[in-house]
Amino acid sequence: MSAPTTRGILAIGIALLLPGLAVGQPAPRTPVATTPHFAFYSDFETNLNDALVNMGLARKGAKPELFHAGAEATCFEALAPSVRAGWNGAVDYYAQIISPAGWNARQQYLLRMQLVGFEAEAKAMDGAEFVELARNFRAVAAPAYRACRWTAQDEQNRSWLAEIQPKLAASEAKLTHRLEQLYQATWKKLPVLVDLVETVDWSGANTSWSDAGQGDVLISSTVGGAPGFETLLHESSHVLMDRSNPVPVALAKAAKAADFKLPGDLWHVVLFYTTGEAVRPILDEGAATPYSPMLYEIFKRGSWAEYREALEKEWLPYVQGKRSLDEAATALVAAVKAQKAK
């Protein structure tokens, strides 16, 4: 085990000596916009956590970081040494403890649950001390982030939202009803919470939900327009694809009848395809060129391309209302099994 750096020791000292910075419940979150199905947030604490997670990865991989170039670097260098040390120490801590874990691993999941207000889920994982320590590191990182990054990030988040709001206002009711029909499930608790941040992770978006079934979508505000709109609906559809819901149950039942082990990624491909086809006609309206759902871009990269023919031949009839869910699941599983046997 390597010895901690002087900067790391300083930040640990700051965090442990000033626990009062973050003790107690987090400040109430206020959405910047709400609709019948969604509550959108540009939340300072959540964006700070996203920045620290990704800067921890950058530092660990010796890649470019915030505050190292351009106007942000000038701003950062003008800050008090203690403020700069707070930021750098927090990045060191995240780089060692939080960032290397995946977004659904315990380290990041606990912070996600606390930040969004799903405190019961965080407490159930017995992570109070871990959550509090991370909260203290964010507290010492906050002054630098607020001074040199937050205004621009908040503007970017709100710009993303302003771009998709007209399409959402025109089609939300129709589209959400359509998704509930296709997945044969309803959102258990609304609104779905949507947190706009800079990066998220390599995928640009992910979804978690509470035990009560309320979803929280974390989505990058760097990709807007039609792809951003589809991403929003794709992520919120995850809540309708819980393993006990009709579509995954139908796929599992069909696989058992066919004596076939379902590929671990098939459910996600089905979700991409189903939501993509649901939003396609809406995103086609008024577009200069026909909209191509995100899954087709993934096919072009070679990922999941083996499933394309089976989806278009056996699952599309279900989306079009020409085949029942059980019939489509049986046909899709048979086609995938035959493909895997080649």
In this prediction, residues 92-107 reach a mean pLDDT of 92
User: Helix, strand, coil shares of the chain as percentages rounded to 5?
Assistant: 65, 5, 30
Residue 131 · residue 25 · CB < 8 Å: no
Written as six digits, the tokens of 315 are: 């699952």
191: cis peptide before it, omega within 30°?
yes
In this prediction, residues 325-341 reach a mean pLDDT of 96
The 8-class DSSP code of residue 41 comes to: E
Written as six digits, the tokens of 186 are: 């309803």
* Average pLDDT of every residue of the chain: 91
Q: pLDDT digits over 163-173, tens only?
A: 999 999 999 99
CA 36 to mean position of chain CA atoms: 20
pTM of the entire predicted model: 0.91
Q: pLDDT digits over 289-313, tens only?
A: 999 999 999 999 988 999 999 999 9
Q: Please give the pLDDT value at position 26.
A: 57
The DSSP bridge pattern shows strands 192-197 and 215-220 to be parallel
Does residue 9 surpass a pLDDT of 70?
no
